[in-house]
Chain A
Amino acid sequence: MDMTEEISSLDTESKSGMSAKVLTINMGPQHPATHGVLRLVLDLDGETVVKCTPYVGYLHRGIEKLSEHRSYMQVLPLTDRLDYISSMTNNIGYCEAVEALFGIELPERTQYIRTIVSEMSRIVNHLLWLATHALDIGAMTVFLYCFREREKILDLFERLCGARLTVTYPRIGGLKNDADKKWLEDVYEFTNEFPGRVEEYETLIDKNRIWLRRTKGIGVISAEEAINWGLSGPTLRGSGVPYDIRKYRPYGVYDKVNWEVVTGKNGDVYDRYRVRMEEFRQSNSIIRQCIDQIPEGPIMADAPKFTLPPKDKVLSDMEHLIHQFVLVTKGPQTAPDGEIYVATEVPKGELGFYIVSDGTGKPYRMRIRAPSFVHVAALPKLCEGGLVADVIANIGSVDIVLGECDR
């Protein structure tokens, strides 16, 4: 067979003249458990991974470059396609960055709604993560239980903005539309039952001996190494680093509600799993507090560059008509000169938008700091020395999505 003839620097030769050759296998881009089109080239000694090399770029669509040819508003739908599992948080991250560039102050109600939908999005993301992670390790039932709740949130998203996955709900300077009272009540009802559901998932796997043996002590990364590798989000917190952008540079209303940064201790697959399970509860409590506190008020900021003028004025007044016409057909024509980097805590980690403006209505350069990209880079660190089965557990535990990684 051909496979035995491959030559690698990792091959070893013993004194008896018999040589052991490493088996190079190509995991992905089409593979049931690489969470998209990730390609890992694994050098195996038996079933032990000697070397792991990730290759990315199979889902590259040039979102950063495309942004340079679009007005600030037109970039927004592109950000949906980064992390398509929780597009809401990407939208909000981008809007926060542009709003910081233009110096737009958001109305309070908008900030509350954005926080609510961010946390709902976080729950959706973690549900999908738990579902696929458990499926990767072989627990099939968790998958379908998680999808049951995910469906409910997606339905709520659909009622709010008409879309389930690629929502494009926020707008620069506000939101597409207000959340009505009934919707907020239904979200509140969901938060009543959700903690019970989380407990249900835990009964399925949390105490299962096979689950513990598959996750404890696997893919260990210490706090120091995790920081050096640039990890963020639950993957970093699993190693015990209490870093969460929602706490350290609060946006939205994260400073007005009570919640805790969840951290793990050992930095293994199990701790990363625990962190996300606790984040379900934190997110749930944030949503409840936000709904309790949410004030009435406008949802669009006073930002003439992005906010359409009132309809009755447009129909009766020439200046407003021109304003609407220019905004809709061309977008804002000028922007403040300068550069800005704004990071938000998306479910997967730190999502940063670095925007360079040259004063025109389009970004001169937009760079996206995607957590998945950084996490993929850390995979060799986690996988090497483990077994093939651990590679799968590790890919699941760092929670990557290739849309965001390849952009």
Chain B
Amino acid sequence: MELLLMFVKILVVVTIFMIHLLYVQYFERKVIGHMQARMGPMRVGWHGILQPVADALKLFFKEDIIPSQSDRPIFFVAPIIGVIAGVSTIAVIPLWKSFSIANLNIGILYILALSSIGSFSIILGGWASNSKYSFLGGLRSSAQVISYEISLGLSLVGVMMMAGSANLSDIVNAQANSWFLFPQLIAFFVFLVSAIAETNRVPFDLPEAETELVAGFATEYSGMRWALFFMAEYAGMFIMSSLAVVCFMGGWNGPELPLVGEYSGLLWFVLKVYGFIFFYFWIRATLPRYRYDQLMSLGWKIFIPLALLNVIVTGFLRVL
């Protein structure tokens, strides 16, 4: 019985998450469209509401092209790794009042580990394509992941110290009265930037830098395989947003709202996460792209020392 309940839980959450993945790109196109003095998708359905469905159908029916010189097994596996790592991360996110598929004691570590595995998909995809542009994209990605993984992890150490736990539900419960955002402001800043770099979004979208490397690691991918990379990127965005909400902005905590009653916690969580996703889009519409070496020096010379400093200061304050 418990197993069945678990299965139903997984099914519901993953289905909703898949719909989210489908529609978050519609959301992005609309948001960026209006920021850029245009309308975004308007043709398929009312205000283009069916555009994601049309896109998904198109991608399903596209020819599956595999370069003849590619390393076929790795070429097959790479996008799948990405999307599995992205989607399975959602298991530990406490969506509402300790409701998560798996309430792990090492939730943060689990997320960090899986997001590192996710970047393997990019590295392997870039390598397996046997194209120089893909190869450069893969190399950039590995360098970027190594640099920003560290600052991302370090920025969360402060939070773990304050909550005294790596369990995400405990972290949210520890923020019942005040968010960690204010005592951990530096960590929050480091986390925000590292999360953008971790998910390969503008201004750190170097692995796929369209105007330099054509499409970077995804140059040789098309159709559904490419769509899996795409899904992995957007899943990563959701995960990083919810991690930010859980660790710094009080998770589901918030005043009770009229009409929804006890479900207001869930609503608060969703609102906060979408606020972050909106922030991602906003950044994309605003900023130019960093150069590879500038990205690296930013990571190693600024963010890692800042995050370390934050850990030390938090430690001192805890001891006092």
CA distance A128 to B2 in the complex (A): 62
A95-141 contacts to B (CB < 8 Å): 134-141
Judge whether B262 is part of the interface by a CB distance below 8 angstroms.
no
Indicate if the CB atoms of B136 and A388 lie closer than 8 Å: yes
Indicate if the CB atoms of B211 and A141 lie closer than 8 Å: no
Partner of B36, one of A141, A214, A388: A141
Judge whether A33 is part of the interface by a CB distance below 8 angstroms.
yes
Indicate if the CB atoms of B285 and A388 lie closer than 8 Å: no
Whose C-beta in chain A lies nearest to the C-beta of B293? A387
Indicate if the CB atoms of B292 and A140 lie closer than 8 Å: no
Indicate if the CB atoms of B35 and A31 lie closer than 8 Å: no
Indicate if the CB atoms of B130 and A32 lie closer than 8 Å: no
A167-226 contacts to B (CB < 8 Å): 204-205, 208, 210-211, 213-214
Least Cβ distance of B158 to chain A in Å?
A: 26
Residues of A within 8 A of B35 (CB): 141
From B59-67, B202-210, B236-244, give the one contacting chain A: B202-210
Knowing A2-B69, A23-B132 touch, does A134 contact B211 (C-beta < 8 A)?
A: no
Whose C-beta in chain B lies nearest to the C-beta of A148? B37
Judge whether B288 is part of the interface by a CB distance below 8 angstroms.
yes
B211-227 contacts to A (CB < 8 Å): 211-214
CA distance A139 to B36 in the complex (A): 11
Judge whether B317 is part of the interface by a CB distance below 8 angstroms.
no
Indicate if the CB atoms of B36 and A140 lie closer than 8 Å: yes
Knowing A144-B38, A148-B37, A388-B212 touch, does A139 contact B132 (C-beta < 8 A)?
A: no
CA distance A31 to B69 in the complex (A): 21
Residues of A within 8 A of B177 (CB): none
Least Cβ distance of B114 to chain A in Å?
A: 28
Indicate if the CB atoms of B286 and A141 lie closer than 8 Å: yes
Indicate if the CB atoms of A1 and B130 lie closer than 8 Å: yes
Residues of B within 8 A of A141 (CB): 35-36, 285-286
Judge whether B290 is part of the interface by a CB distance below 8 angstroms.
yes
Indicate if the CB atoms of A144 and B37 lie closer than 8 Å: yes
Indicate if the CB atoms of B288 and A3 lie closer than 8 Å: no
Residues of A within 8 A of B291 (CB): 213-214, 387, 389-390
Judge whether B260 is part of the interface by a CB distance below 8 angstroms.
no
Residues of A within 8 A of B58 (CB): none
Judge whether B284 is part of the interface by a CB distance below 8 angstroms.
yes
Residues of A within 8 A of B130 (CB): 1-3
Knowing A138-B203, A211-B288, A389-B291 touch, does A33 contact B212 (C-beta < 8 A)?
A: yes
Indicate if the CB atoms of B37 and A140 lie closer than 8 Å: no
Q: Which of A33, A143, A389 has the most CB of B within 10 A?
A: A389
Least Cβ distance of B18 to chain A in Å?
A: 27
Least Cβ distance of B302 to chain A in Å?
A: 12
CA distance A136 to B288 in the complex (A): 9
Contact with A along B17-57 (1 / 0, CB 8 A): 00000000000000010011110000000000000000000
Residues of A within 8 A of B287 (CB): 138-139, 208, 210
Least Cβ distance of A53 to chain B in Å?
A: 16
Indicate if the CB atoms of B288 and A205 lie closer than 8 Å: yes
Indicate if the CB atoms of A387 and B292 lie closer than 8 Å: yes
CA distance A136 to B202 in the complex (A): 13
Q: Which of A26, A138, A143, A145 has the most CB of B within 10 A?
A: A138
Indicate if the CB atoms of A140 and B285 lie closer than 8 Å: yes
Judge whether B289 is part of the interface by a CB distance below 8 angstroms.
yes
CA distance A218 to B130 in the complex (A): 31
Residues of A within 8 A of B293 (CB): 47, 387
Judge whether A392 is part of the interface by a CB distance below 8 angstroms.
yes
CA distance A387 to B212 in the complex (A): 10
Knowing A134-B288, A138-B289 touch, does A392 contact B37 (C-beta < 8 A)?
A: no
A22-43 contacts to B (CB < 8 Å): 23, 25-26, 31-33
CA distance A134 to B287 in the complex (A): 10
Indicate if the CB atoms of B285 and A389 lie closer than 8 Å: no
Indicate if the CB atoms of B214 and A389 lie closer than 8 Å: no
Contact with A along B118-149 (1 / 0, CB 8 A): 00000000000010110110001000000000
Indicate if the CB atoms of A392 and B211 lie closer than 8 Å: yes
Partner of A145, one of B36, B140, B289, B290: B36
CA distance A392 to B291 in the complex (A): 11
Partner of A135, one of B211, B286, B292: B211
Least Cβ distance of A282 to chain B in Å?
A: 25
Q: Which of B140, B287, B292 has the most CB of A within 10 A?
A: B287
Least Cβ distance of A393 to chain B in Å?
A: 9
Partner of B209, one of A23, A213, A389, A390: A389
Residues of B within 8 A of A211 (CB): 288
Judge whether B294 is part of the interface by a CB distance below 8 angstroms.
yes
Whose C-beta in chain B lies nearest to the C-beta of A391? B212
Indicate if the CB atoms of A138 and B133 lie closer than 8 Å: no
Residues of B within 8 A of A213 (CB): 290-291, 294
Indicate if the CB atoms of A3 and B214 lie closer than 8 Å: no
Residues of A within 8 A of B294 (CB): 213-214
Indicate if the CB atoms of A208 and B212 lie closer than 8 Å: no
Partner of A210, one of B36, B210, B289: B289
CA distance A213 to B289 in the complex (A): 10
Whose C-beta in chain A lies nearest to the C-beta of B33? A144
Indicate if the CB atoms of B210 and A32 lie closer than 8 Å: yes
Indicate if the CB atoms of A138 and B211 lie closer than 8 Å: yes
Contact with B along A83-99 (1 / 0, CB 8 A): 00000000000000000
Residues of B within 8 A of A31 (CB): 214
Whose C-beta in chain A lies nearest to the C-beta of B289? A138
Partner of B211, one of A3, A23, A136, A145: A136
Residues of B within 8 A of A25 (CB): 132-133, 136
Contact with A along B161-188 (1 / 0, CB 8 A): 0000000000000000000000000000
Name 13 A/B residue pairs within 8 A (Cβ), A-sorted: A25-B132, A26-B132, A31-B214, A138-B202, A144-B36, A144-B37, A145-B37, A210-B288, A213-B291, A214-B294, A387-B293, A389-B289, A389-B291
Chain A residues packing against B (C-beta within 8 Å): 1-3, 23, 25-26, 31-33, 47, 134-141, 143-145, 148, 204-205, 208, 210-211, 213-214, 387-392
Closest 8 CB pairs of A and B: A138-B289, A33-B211, A144-B36, A138-B288, A139-B288, A389-B291, A137-B288, A136-B211
Given A2-B130, A389-B212: 15 more A-B contacts, CB < 8 Å: A3-B135, A135-B211, A137-B289, A140-B36, A148-B37, A210-B287, A214-B291, A214-B294, A387-B292, A388-B136, A389-B209, A389-B291, A389-B292, A391-B212, A392-B212
